[in-house]
Structure 1
Amino acid sequence: MEGSYRRAHPAIVQLHLIREAEEAMRAVSSLSEKTPGRARGMDLLRDWEARLDLTPAALATREPILALRRATYAALDARDAGAYTWLAQAKLCRHTGHHGAAQLALLEARAALDPGMALAVEQAKLLWATGRQHRAVVEIQEALDDVSLRETDTKTASHAMLRLARWSAATGQRQKTDVLHIYSNVLKDQQHTEKANFHVAKYLDDLLKDAQKREQQRAAMGGGADGEGGGQRRRKNQEADEKSLDYVDDIITRYATSLRYGHSHVYESLPRMLTLWFDVGAAAAAHEATAARSSGRGAAAATTSTLTAEQQKERRVAKKATDVLKQFSGSLPLYTWLPALPQLTSRLCHPHAEVRQLIHQILYRLVKNFPNQVLWSMTAMARSTHPERAEAAARILQKAKQDADASMRPLFDQSSELAAQLIKLCKYEPPKGADRRAPKTFSLRAEFPKLASLVEGEELGAMMVMVPGQSSLTPSLPPATLRNAAQPNLVPTVSEWSAFPSDVAVIASIEDEVAVLSSLQKPKKLTVIGSDGHEYAFLCKPKDDLRKDLRMMEFTTMLNRLLARDPSSRKRRLYLRTFAVIPLTEDCGLIEWVPNTTGLRHVLQALYVQDGLYHKRTLVEVKEMHERLKSRPLTWMSEILEKFPPVFHRWFLNRWKDRPAAWHGARTAFSHTAAVWSMVGHVVGLGDRHGENILLDQESGDCVHVDFSCLFDKGLELETPEMVPFRLTQNIVDGLGAGGYEGTFMRVCEITLGVLRSHREALMSVLETFVHDPLVEWAASRAGPKTSSGKSKADEGVEIERGKDALEKIRSRLEGVVVGVGAAPSLPLSTQGQTRRLIEEATSRKHLGSMYIWWMPWF
Structure 2
Amino acid sequence: MYCNLRDLCFQKKYDHLESLQMKLNGCLSVSFPILHGLAMRTSDWSKILARLRIDQVTELGAAALEGPGGYIRAYDTIVRLSSLSDIELISSLGDVIMNEIRNPTNSRSSENKLSNIVETSLKLLETRIRVSRPTFHTLEPVLAIQHAALQLVTSALSSLNSDTYQISNREVLNSTILRLRTALGYNWLERAKLARKSGQFMAAYTCVLRAEDFGIPDALLERAKLLWQTDKREAAQACLDKGIPDVFGCSIFNVRNKQSNENVEVSTEYRTISAQQALLLRTRYCEETNRYDFETTGKLYEQVCAFNSGYEEAHFRLARYVDRARTEAVGCKQQNALIKVALKQYGLALSYGSQFIYQSMPRLLTLWLDYGQDSVRNFHELNKSQKHTEENNLHSEQKVFNEVQELMRINCQRIPVYQFYTALSQLLSRVCHEVPAVVTTLIELVVRIFEAYPLQTMWFLIPLNDSTVRQRRDRCQQIFNMIKYVITNSMKLYRLFSSQYLLNPSYLIFSRITIILFVIEMYARCYPYEPYTQKMLPITVSLGVEYRCF
TM normalised by structure 2 equals 0.61
Q: Which residue of 2 aligns with 1:458?
A: none
Listed one character per residue, the Cα deviations across residues 193-251 of structure 1 (whole Å, up to 9, x for unaligned) are 2111111111111221221xxx3xxxxxxxxxxxxxxxxxxxxxxxx321221011111
Q: Letter of the aligned partner of 2:199 in structure 1? A: G
The offset of 1:41, in angstroms, is 6.4
Q: Which residue of 2 aligns with 1:14?
A: 80
The CA RMSD measured in Å over matched residues stands at: 3.5
Q: Which residue of 2 aligns with 1:69?
A: 146
- CA distance in 2 between counterparts of 1:97 and 1:61 reads 15
Kindly indicate whether residue 196 of structure 2 is the aligned counterpart of residue 94 of structure 1: yes
- CA distance in 2 between counterparts of 1:178 and 1:50 reads 41
The offset of 1:48, in angstroms, is 2.7
Q: Which residue of 1 aligns with 2:209?
A: 107
Unpaired stretches in structure 2, ≥5 consecutive residues: 1-66, 155-179, 251-265, 496-518, 528-550
The offset of 1:94, in angstroms, is 1.6
Q: Letter of the aligned partner of 2:149 in structure 1? A: T
Q: Letter of the aligned partner of 1:369 in structure 2? A: A
The answer to whether the 8 Å contact 2:271/2:307 transfers is no
Kindly indicate whether residue 328 of structure 2 is the aligned counterpart of residue 210 of structure 1: yes
Q: Which residue of 2 aligns with 1:53?
A: 130
The answer to whether the 8 Å contact 1:283/1:314 transfers is no
In the comparison of the two structures, how many residue pairs are matched? 377
Question: Which of these residues, 263, 277, 290, is aligned with residue 172 of structure 1?
Answer: 290
- CA distance in 2 between counterparts of 1:2 and 1:321 reads 56
Q: Which residue of 2 aligns with 1:242?
A: 333
Kindly indicate whether residue 325 of structure 2 is the aligned counterpart of residue 259 of structure 1: no
Q: Letter of the aligned partner of 2:332 in structure 1? A: D
| Change over 3 Å in CA distance of 1:147–1:267 after alignment to 2 | closer
Q: Letter of the aligned partner of 1:326 in structure 2? A: R
Q: Which residue of 1 aligns with 2:172?
A: none
Q: Which residue of 2 aligns with 1:183?
A: 301
| Change over 3 Å in CA distance of 1:369–1:117 after alignment to 2 | closer
Question: Which of these residues, 181, 184, 189, is aligned with residue 79 of structure 1?
Answer: 181
Q: Which residue of 1 aligns with 2:225?
A: 125
TM normalised by structure 1 equals 0.40
The offset of 1:58, in angstroms, is 1.6
- CA distance in 2 between counterparts of 1:149 and 1:91 reads 24
The offset of 1:359, in angstroms, is 0.4
Listed one character per residue, the Cα deviations across residues 666-718 of structure 1 (whole Å, up to 9, x for unaligned) are xxxxxxxxxxxxxxxxxxxxxxxxxxxxxxxxxxxxxxxxxxxxxxxxxxxxx
Task: Please list, as runs of the form range in 1=range in 2, the aligned pairs for 1:286-435 lying within 5 A after superposition.
Answer: 286-292=377-383, 307-400=390-483
Listed one character per residue, the Cα deviations across residues 290-326 of structure 1 (whole Å, up to 9, x for unaligned) are 445668xxxxxxxx97855444433322221211221
- CA distance in 1 between counterparts of 2:494 and 2:480 reads 13
| Change over 3 Å in CA distance of 1:294–1:107 after alignment to 2 | closer
Listed one character per residue, the Cα deviations across residues 480-530 of structure 1 (whole Å, up to 9, x for unaligned) are xxxxxxxxxxxxxxx9xx9xx989xxxxxxxxxxxxxxxxxxxxxxxxxxx
Unpaired stretches in structure 1, ≥5 consecutive residues: 216-239, 296-303, 410-494, 504-859
Listed one character per residue, the Cα deviations across residues 365-391 of structure 1 (whole Å, up to 9, x for unaligned) are 223433333223322222333332221
Q: Which residue of 2 aligns with 1:201?
A: 319
Matched residues, percent identical? 25
- CA distance in 1 between counterparts of 2:151 and 2:446 reads 58
- CA distance in 2 between counterparts of 1:2 and 1:335 reads 36
| Change over 3 Å in CA distance of 1:153–1:126 after alignment to 2 | farther
Q: Letter of the aligned partner of 1:138 in structure 2? A: A
- CA distance in 2 between counterparts of 1:82 and 1:242 reads 54
Q: Which residue of 1 aligns with 2:365?
A: 274
Task: Please list, as runs of the form range in 1=range in 2, the aligned pairs for 1:289-688 lying within 5 A after superposition.
Answer: 289-292=380-383, 307-400=390-483
The offset of 1:256, in angstroms, is 0.9
Partner secondary structure for residue 133 of structure 2: coil
The answer to whether the 8 Å contact 2:346/2:360 transfers is yes
The answer to whether the 8 Å contact 2:217/2:248 transfers is no
The offset of 1:343, in angstroms, is 1.5
Q: Letter of the aligned partner of 1:270 in structure 2? A: M
- CA distance in 2 between counterparts of 1:97 and 1:53 reads 20
- CA distance in 2 between counterparts of 1:136 and 1:176 reads 21
The offset of 1:269, in angstroms, is 0.6
- CA distance in 2 between counterparts of 1:127 and 1:309 reads 53
The answer to whether the 8 Å contact 1:89/1:102 transfers is yes
| Change over 3 Å in CA distance of 1:64–1:347 after alignment to 2 | same
- CA distance in 2 between counterparts of 1:310 and 1:380 reads 41
Q: Which has the larger radius of gyration?
A: 2
| Change over 3 Å in CA distance of 1:21–1:175 after alignment to 2 | same
The answer to whether the 8 Å contact 2:217/2:247 transfers is no
Between Structure 1 and Structure 2, the one with more helix by share is 2
| Change over 3 Å in CA distance of 1:46–1:279 after alignment to 2 | same
- CA distance in 2 between counterparts of 1:72 and 1:195 reads 36
